A and B are shown apart, each in its own frame.
Chain A
Amino acid sequence: MKLCVACGMPMEKPSDYPLGDESKDYCVHCARADGSMQSYEERAAAMANFIVMTQGLDGRAALAAARARMSRLPAWKGRP
């Protein structure tokens, strides 16, 4: 089982991959509409937004949590 390099989600089915392309290392949620991988800022904003929508956190706290997760993922290693 592959883990998305950009968000950590386990990827198992073709529908987990961008445009169903299983050769990709990032998941459908981390892809733009054209299948390319989102930028660091795009991904951080999307992850923070999910946290706000589901847990109701303040936006800045949610963004800090998103960045904390991203700092541990292969796609974003070495980011400040």
Chain B
Amino acid sequence: MSIESTIITKSTTPQSRSAQKLETRRRILAAARRVFAREGILATSTAAVAAEAGVSHGSVFAHFGTQEGLIAAVIEDFGEALSLHLHESTERGAGTREVLKSHLDAIRESEGFYARLAVETPLLPSEARLSLVLIQSDIAFHLSPAIEADAKAGSVKAMPLPLLFNTWVGLLHYYLANRELFAPDASLLESRGEELLDHFMSLISTGGKR
């Protein structure tokens, strides 16, 4: 990402001031995502985020209020990026496997953060908890037409969509939550993503079309 390379102008027109404000906000969000990935979401203080972003502690408060507000904003920001990635990388009419591959690719960009989110979601404030539901909803938006089409064509078994979807998410989250055990020195999705995808597809495929 080129966030760090953005030039902050020193002029004080209202326009540049609001651009500067937006840039600071972006910098804090990106820094928070990095620290959350390293240290955990709830274990991270707003002071640590300020230090990582190179801004004053007061600036974090000015932009996000409480730690809770910051957490909600980081998840929302991540969700928006993930949703946009999925939308851009998923052709309409894409098959189940392609959509799931896009899902993995979208997560991989922020794997460390997403793994923390998967583990900590039940402990987070309710607004943040609901955000994960909404992120999954965006994935389901792309996945459900693909599954319906593949089921109709006979390549994917007919089964309740929530169970199929939650089986995928459950598999993914288990591996991500324990990524230090499965892929200590690498990206889990890079080293094991294809394997998980192959396995899941073999579970839901009829075997008729391969």
Contact = CB atoms under 8 A, between A and B. Distances in A.
A65 interface: yes
B134 A55 contact: no
Interface of chain B, main secondary structure: helix
Contacts of B126: 64
A68 B130 contact: yes
A21 B83 CA distance: 24
B173 to A, nearest CB: 13
Interface of B: 76, 83-84, 87, 126-127, 130-131, 133-134, 136-137, 140-141, 143-144, 160-163, 165-166
B150 to A, nearest CB: 15
A68 B163 contact: no
Interface string A1-24: 000000011100000000000000
Nearest to A69: B134
Contacts of B143: 54
Contact of A68 (B134, B140, B141, B161): B134
A57 interface: yes
A2 to B, nearest CB: 13
Closest CB pairs A-B (n = 5): A56-B162, A54-B140, A65-B133, A68-B130, A65-B130
30 contacts: A9-B141, A47-B137, A50-B137, A50-B141, A51-B133, A51-B137, A51-B140, A52-B162, A53-B144, A54-B137, A54-B141, A54-B143, A54-B144, A54-B161, A55-B136, A55-B140, A55-B162, A55-B165, A55-B166, A56-B163, A64-B126, A64-B130, A65-B133, A65-B134, A65-B137, A68-B127, A68-B130, A69-B134, A69-B137, A72-B76
A55 B87 contact: no
B79 to A, nearest CB: 10
Nearest to A51: B137
**Which of A54, A61, A72 has the most chain B CB atoms inside 10 A of its CB?**
A54
Contacts of B130: 64-65, 68
